[in-house]
A and B are shown apart, each in its own frame.
Chain A
Amino acid sequence: MAAQAQQPESKDLPVVLLLRQFPFISSYTDIFSNKFRSLNPSTSSLPLNDFLTTHANSIRALICSPQKPFTSETLKCIPSLEFVITTSTGIDHIDLNYCRSKGIRVANAGDVFTEDVADLAVGLLLSVLRKVTEADRYVRTGFWLSKGEFPLGSKVGGKRVGIVGLGSIGFEVAKRLEAFGCMISYNSRRKKSTVSYLYYPDVRDLAANSDILIISCALTDETYHIINKDVLSALGREGVVVNVGRGALIDEKELVRSLLQREIKGAGLDVFENEPAVPKELLQLDNVVLSPHRAVLTPESFSAFHELVIANLEAFFFNKPLLSSVNLE
């Protein structure tokens, strides 16, 4: 093809290490391979770190994701590394201290997934309160015919929604739920001067004053298991938890126990502590809605995301400002 003939030889292109397959969608395969030369350890028979050591001096940039975790040992095998871009919004799978100390820049998916995650949070909440997945099963198994009317759900309007982490996702969730007549409050490290929602410096107080908790904060050492036994018991028997952040934000064992013992009313979960493993007790419960960490997987966001990853890599190799850099200070 003429267009390809004009491209530089593949060996002259900047090298990008793929710690996870990229692009995800075939429509970007040519666009990507015309701009970069991929180095894919999964195509080699060598163990990852041996593979990296053999290519160490040619690698300046890598693509990673939380689905394919790697250790700081991996990073140490690549002394020439200058740039890490993750396919996620969260950056908890990257050793940021190491990157900071070596001057390695980090970029994430920025806000391209924000709307999809917020939409799914609202979708999970509506599904739990109105028993959507349970009702769909009821119809499909023929119970509507044999057992009659389906049990009542809970009204959405008037519910007190507590958002844990009022970043861009939490803010979009709040905006959507306001239209349903919910009352919004939040917990975060600092009070936000730009919003009028009620702020609780303590997540337990937030839970005690909420019917619903939406977890949308980043996973850090401070937020690990931020939703623990105390918080769940403060939320109480009529409470619902929705998690679109990371599995480890919730003490999953306590969550399962609270659900089994009806100490909270229900949960909508897109993330789990040991994905893709899901606690088997949850699989039998009608008052939970389970989603396989797919908050972001829509073609619309995917295209935007592929554009962003490619644009960040180009910016890096051409010494221009990154589009979605993570502040490591």
Chain B
Amino acid sequence: MESIGVLMTCPMFNYLEEQLENKFKLFKLWNFSEQKQQFLKENSNSIRAIVGNASFGASSELIDSLPKLEIVSSFSVGLDKIDLNKCKEKGIRVSNTPDVLTEDVADLALALILATLRKICESDRYVRSGLWKRGDFKLSTKFTGKSVGIIGLGRIGTAIAKRAEAFNCPISYFSRSEKPNTGYKYYSNILDLAANCQILVVACPLTEETRHIVNREVIDALGPKGVIINIGRGPHIDEPELVSALVEGRIAGAGLDVYENEPEVPEQLLGLDNVVLLPHVGSGTFETRKAMADLVIANLEAHFLNKPLLTPVV
């Protein structure tokens, strides 16, 4: 397969790059950012695959510029940066890396909950700045037993629920339809979910319907003791509404791994003690990135050997 052209959209993970270089003819789009049009004109006929990720996938424009494109093998679970309709139209296969990062994202959701409720980052700043010698630190909030409401009970939502159960948390969820045999309380209305939980976790895919699913109404239903955790996508939350709710104390806190305009984070959040801010590291462990990279390559190999994709989307 060494002659097959694979276009990588941006730097993702050294191991993936090395593996792709070993097995395929790798083009690194970021090396041609100045002369992208020129590059595509010269090489478009030899590129048969795109490897993209959650921040740089396959736009309609990029797909149109590659007439020989057969497959988009994405180094991500989310597909919102890939024009899926266009792929379907043109018979281009799409694969992602589901499951392998489920545990990491769920772990990070719990890390954000604990860090936000128990003020772990604030405590660490307090000790490092030498304030401990001067006096008392404020109380934090107990996690065990708090009600957790999950938006989207897919793989990641289910993994979060399983972990929160070990902390004796009652679990409820909102999704398009009720899931059988979960034992968790289902709300068909997100406002009811928010009104009946203290920790609201966003864990659904980003679609037209779920964009800004957490809006002012949902935030107000959650209330001043509520905490929002977002390990989904930034646009799930109406960010200016979240910021004003945090600044005005209409909710107690937030743990965020994703933002509407990454890597930009709203300026007002940077000075707040009741938020924990992470730079989109949901799947950011070495073990998981390696498993994802292996899956991206396995999907490409399967495709070019005319075998079924391991994790097909289209």
Contact = CB atoms under 8 A, between A and B. Distances in A.
A5 interface: no
Interface string A168-206: 000000011011110000000000000000000000000
Contact of B277 (A115, A127, A140, A276): A140
Interface string A267-299: 000000001111000010000011110100111
A132 B139 contact: no
B279 A144 contact: yes
Interface string B249-277: 00000000000001111000010000011
B39 interface: no
A157 B288 CA distance: 10
Given A145-B264, A150-B279, A152-B284, A290 B127 contact: yes
A68 interface: no
Contact of B107 (A116, A119, A120, A156): A156
A232 B118 CA distance: 28
B120 A291 contact: yes
A301 B118 CA distance: 13
Interface string B45-82: 00000000000000000000000000000000000000
Nearest to B12: A149
A155 B104 contact: yes
Contacts of B281: 130-131, 135, 150, 152-153
Contacts of B286: 152-155
A294 B136 CA distance: 10
Contacts of A157: 103, 107
A203 B204 CA distance: 43
Contacts of A176: 166-167
B114 interface: yes
Interface in B93-141: 103-104, 107-108, 110-112, 114-115, 118, 120-121, 123-124, 126-128, 130, 132-133, 137, 139-141
Given A154-B285, A290-B123, A136 B276 contact: yes
Contacts of B111: 123, 126-127, 130, 132
Contacts of B288: 155
B166 A175 contact: yes
Contacts of B118: 119-120, 123, 298
Contacts of A137: 121
A135 B279 contact: yes
Contact of B279 (A116, A123, A138, A298): A138
Contacts of B166: 175-176, 178-179
A30 interface: no
A122 interface: yes
Interface in A77-133: 115-116, 118-120, 122-124, 126-127, 129-133
A300 interface: yes
A203 B229 CA distance: 38
A135 B257 CA distance: 10
B108 A292 contact: no
A302 interface: yes
B263 A145 contact: yes
A126 B139 contact: no
A70 B183 CA distance: 52
B261 to A, nearest CB: 11
A139 interface: yes
Contacts of B287: 154-155, 158
Given A138-B279, A290-B127, A277 B133 contact: yes
A119 B277 contact: no
A124 B127 contact: no
B52 to A, nearest CB: 15
B167 A155 contact: no
B180 to A, nearest CB: 22
B285 A136 contact: no
A155 B142 contact: no
A177 to B, nearest CB: 8
A126 B142 contact: no
Contacts of B110: 122, 126, 180
A175 to B, nearest CB: 6
Contact of B120 (A129, A156, A181, A289): A289
Nearest to A138: B279
B185 to A, nearest CB: 19
B278 interface: yes
Interface in B149-204: 162-163, 165-168
Nearest to B108: A130
A179 B278 contact: no
Nearest to A275: B132
Contacts of A158: 287
Interface string A43-54: 000000000000
Contacts of A289: 120, 124
Among B11, B126, B142, which residue has the most Cβ atoms of chain A within 10 A?
A: B142
18 contacts: A115-B142, A119-B118, A124-B120, A126-B107, A127-B111, A132-B112, A132-B115, A136-B278, A138-B279, A144-B279, A150-B284, A154-B287, A155-B287, A289-B120, A294-B123, A294-B140, A298-B139, A299-B142
Interface of B: 11, 103-104, 107-108, 110-112, 114-115, 118, 120-121, 123-124, 126-128, 130, 132-133, 137, 139-145, 162-163, 165-168, 262-265, 270, 276-279, 281, 284-289
* Closest 10 pairs (CB-CB, A-B): A123-B114, A179-B166, A126-B111, A300-B142, A155-B287, A298-B142, A290-B127, A115-B144, A139-B277, A276-B132
